[in-house]
Structures are given as C-alpha cells and as structure tokens.
Amino acid sequence: MVFSNRGMMVIQKPPGWEVDSVTNDTDALCLSKFLQQGFTKQTSPLLHDSSYGFGFIHRLDVASSGLVLIALTMEGLLALQWQKSLYLIGRDYVVVSYDLEVGGQRRCINAKVSVPRAKVSRTVTEDRGLPASSHVLTQAHLHGGELASGMRLSKLVIRIHTGRRHQIRAHTRLIGHPTACDGWYAPAAASLTRAVLYERVPTRAWVRTPRWEGELTAPPPELHDHVSAS
C-alpha cells in the first residue's frame, strides 16, 4: 500500500497479478484474494463483494505494473466513480512499444474501439465502436540488446482520456507501434522468444493467446486518419 485515505487506498501492483473485478475461480494471482487476506469481510465488506467489482476503480493488464485505486467503503466507491465519470482522475502510463516513434512528438489518437464481452477477444478500432482518446509522447528510443538483437523500441508516455478495455494496446497497434512482449496485439515476427527472457518474467505476465499475424511495419488498415498531431 502506498497511500490510504478515508474510504480509499492505492496499492502498487506487480506484473503477473490480475485486477479481477469479477469472481475468478482460476489459479491466477488475483489481487482481490490478496486484499481479502488483509482486510476482513466485517471491516471491509466491499473488498469481498464481486457485485461492486471488489472496490476496484480501474484495472491494469496482467503483464503491467502500476498503481491501482481501490474503494474501501460505499462512500469512497461512489465518490471515486463520480470523479472518474467526470474525467477528474488522471491516468498516465509508461509503455515500451516496437519500432521507432518520432522523438519528442506529441500526438492525440482519437479512434473508436469495440470492446468484446469475452476476455479472450481483442479490442479493435472500428467506426462502430465507442469513443476513445489517448495522448502520446515519445520519451526515448531503445535497443533490444542481447535479448532481442536488432530490435528497435520506443518508450512512450500515454495519458488516456477514456478508459476502454485494452485501449492503449489497441491504439498503439493502430499507429504501428504495438506494445512489447505482447503476444495478443503484436505481430508474431516481433515476439521475443529467447528462453532466458521467459525465465525472468512471471508466467502470468505473458499473454498466452493467438498473435496478430500482420507486418510490424504496416499497421492494420483500420483507422489511420484518426491519428493527429497534438
């Protein structure tokens, strides 16, 4: 826990853990079960109630790490959901993506996304989807080193205005810079397969689903004209 206040707290999630807002009967490392071990149902009933998403205000992908905002009381839940609905809660992310992006360039990606109900389906950008907006700034260019010789990478800072499921992964894929180490949204050609890399990363941090078979240098023909400078 890095912060707590009346009816809410913030915790640091490591990679490999799932922010499960629904009942999960799998063997995954579920953040709700971890919290329930430290907070009893008598003192913090919200953390034990799946009908209120175990108090989670937002989610982070299993492979990512970062801060998670959690409500401990109904008062805290309603206050935080109200602020989120009015876009009063800022959400910034640091993302490593494949290939080089123009250094120092700021851009706004406004591309509608369709979020599937099934967790095993990708979020895709298409005109019939829901509005989604991401602000992107390139911070650095990286090299894959011994683990991925010749691989060019970019470090992106992304601030999301909306918070659709897998919005960042869908938007970076759209502009031709899919997120690194992501078997769900990155091309098969860009996957890092060295055994030494797998030994250093928790199993749950890897997306074990079919890869996008497109070309890394050619982003999918979805909504290229929705990317603008900002």
- Domain 3-85 in CATH 3.40.50.620? The answer is no
Percent of the chain with pLDDT over 70: 73
Domain limits, the chain: 3-85, 92-229
pLDDT in tens, 109-135: 999 999 877 666 788 888 999 999 999
pLDDT tens digit string along 170-218?
999 888 888 887 777 776 655 544 434 444 444 444 443 334 444 433 4
Task: Tell me the pLDDT tens digit for each residue of 20-50.
Answer: 887 766 666 889 999 999 999 988 999 999 9
Give the Cα separation of 88 and 206 in Å (integer): 32
CA–CA dist 161, 164 (Å, integer)? 10
Mean pLDDT score of the chain? 78
Q: Check: pTM over 0.85? Answer yes or no.
A: no
Q: Which of 27, 19, 24 is nearest to 203 (CA)?
A: 27
Closest to 63 measured CA to CA, from 158, 202, 157: 202
